[in-house]
Structure 1
Amino acid sequence: MAGEIPDLVALERTGTGKGAARQARRDGMVPGIVFGGDKDPLPIQIPFNELVKRLKAGRFKSTLFNLKVEGQEDVRVICRDVQRDVVKDLPTHLDLMRLRRTTKIALFIPVEFIGEEDAPGIRKGGVLTVVRPEVELVCTAGEIPEKVVVDLSGMEINDVATISSVELPDGTKPTIDRDFVIANISAPTGLASDEDEDADEDETETEVETDEAETEAEEE
């Protein structure tokens, strides 16, 4: 499993409809609904400040949560919608979907890099540049991988690790069809500068030789 699934604590909301929702907001709560999983919809409410904090942290809609509601069994949920005030852009309602263990979902899975000490490019002073510290994968709710492992051993300077070069956990696949870059080993700044200078010198020498040849041709 992908580490500890974070808890999302909510309260069961008494009453439904616009009146009950407005009262929840006056009480500093954000009303919501939990649906799916062959069970009746469950009206809930979450503290406004807690929800805003989680929204600011990012990727709220692609995070699997363990929903805890007093008097109810814990259930895994994923957010399907957050409605916002059109003027203030603050959350006014959220929809959470219950998940079965076999439900397919897209989640961001952290990337772990190994074999740095065995990478020739890094030994030569190359710098590991991480393009994607996590990748979005489609997986089942009951078998969420803890991480994606990228082996850097054998990588030289200017080598690139792409999603196609990584052995993904069983039962998962990327949400992006193209072969995107996860990380690369770039030349150290000093070496890159020296190579650029050498290239400039070679170009200058070529230009000088060309000018001299043209001058000799004109004199003849």
Structure 2
Amino acid sequence: MAGEIPDLHAQERTGTGKGAARAARRAHMVPGIVFGGDVDPLPIQIPYNVLIKKLRQGRFKSTLFNLKVDGHEDVRVICRDVQRDIVKDLPTHLDLMRLRRTTKINLFIPVEFVNEDAAPGITKGGFLTVIRNEIELIVTAGDIPEKITVDLSGLEIGDTVTISQVELPAGTKPTIDRDFVICNIAAPSALSSDEDEEEGAEDAAEVPTVGDEAAAEGGEE
């Protein structure tokens, strides 16, 4: 279970329809609706500045929130839609869906990399290159993992870690079917430069010059 689900504070909105929505916007609020969960829809409104801040943080539509509305029990919700002004691209309405504990949802779960000191490639001067610091998983709303752990023990320079090599929490699976890379151990820049120079020298030694070819032909005659 995730350590802490972020709170989303909202107010119950009185009245429905376009008139009530316009009144909310004039008060610098964004109107919305909470639906699902076998209960009646709940009209709400969220301060415009609060919603803008959360939208700018990213992943708003794939984040599980603990919705807090005065006079109502807290409920877990996920955003299903944010309607925007077609000219200004600013939020004008949002739809939130209540979740049961058994509901399956897609969430981005952070990745933690452990045992760097047990990776020979790192102790030899290599460095960890993180391709994905979070992974989108299909999870159960009532049992969300706090993180995904990637063990770096035994990794050498040039080794990679893919999703198939990681033990995922029970009941979860990636949203991507292919075996994608999470991280790798890259060679130090100095070592990479030396290797490139060595390869260049070997290539140069293998390619004869025009003079060498002429001398070889003269010798054959």
- The bucket for the TM-score relative to the shorter chain is over 0.9
How large is the Cα RMSD of the aligned pairs?
A: 1.2
Q: Distance in 2 between matches of 1:131 and 1:177?
A: 17
- Structure 1 vs Structure 2: percent identity of aligned residues? 71
2:87 matches 1:97: no
Letter in 1 for 2:4: E
Quick one: distance in 1 between partners of 2:187 and 2:218?
44
Structure 1 equivalent of residue 81 of structure 2: 81
- Cross-structure match for 1:151: 151
SS in 2 for 1:9: strand
C-alpha deviation, 1:208, in angstroms: 3.2
Q: TM-score normalized by structure 1?
A: 0.97
Q: Structure 2-normalised TM-score?
A: 0.97
Matches within 5 A, 1:99-178: 99-178=99-178
Specify the SS of the correspondent of 2:92.
strand
Write the distance in 1 (CA, Å) between the matches of 2:186 and 2:142.
38
Looking at structure 2, the residues matched to 105 and 166 of structure 1 have their Cα atoms a distance apart, in angstroms, of: 20
Q: Within 5 A, what are the aligned runs for 1:10-21?
A: 10-21=10-21
Q: Does 1:33 align with 2:24?
A: no
Residue deviations 1:23-65, cap 9 Å, x none?
Answer: 0000000000000000000000000000000000000000000
Residue 140 of structure 1: CA displacement? 0.3
Deviations 1:68-108 (Å, cap 9, x if unpaired)? 00000000000000000000000000000000000000000
Residue 179 of structure 1 deviates from its aligned partner by 0.7
Query: Any idea what SS the aligned residue of 1:199 has?
Result: helix
How many residue pairs match? The answer is: 220
Deviation at 1:209, TM superposition (A): 7.7
The whole-number CA distance in structure 2 between the counterparts of 1:215 and 1:198 is 27
Measured in 1, the distance between the counterparts of 2:218 and 2:176 equals 60
Partner of 1:215: 215
* Residues in 2 aligned to 1:62 and 1:3: alpha-carbon distance in whole angstroms: 17
Q: Structure 1 residue 66 and structure 2 residue 55: aligned?
A: no
Deviation of residue 115 (structure 1)?
1.1
Name the CA distance, whole Å, in 1 between partners of 2:214 and 2:144.
69
1:217 positional shift: 2.8
Amino acid corresponding to residue 47 of structure 2 in structure 1? P
2:150 partner letter: V
Deviation, structure 1 residue 130: 0.5
In the aligned structure 1, how far is the partner of 2:46 from the partner of 2:147? 30
Q: CA deviation at 1:3?
A: 2.1
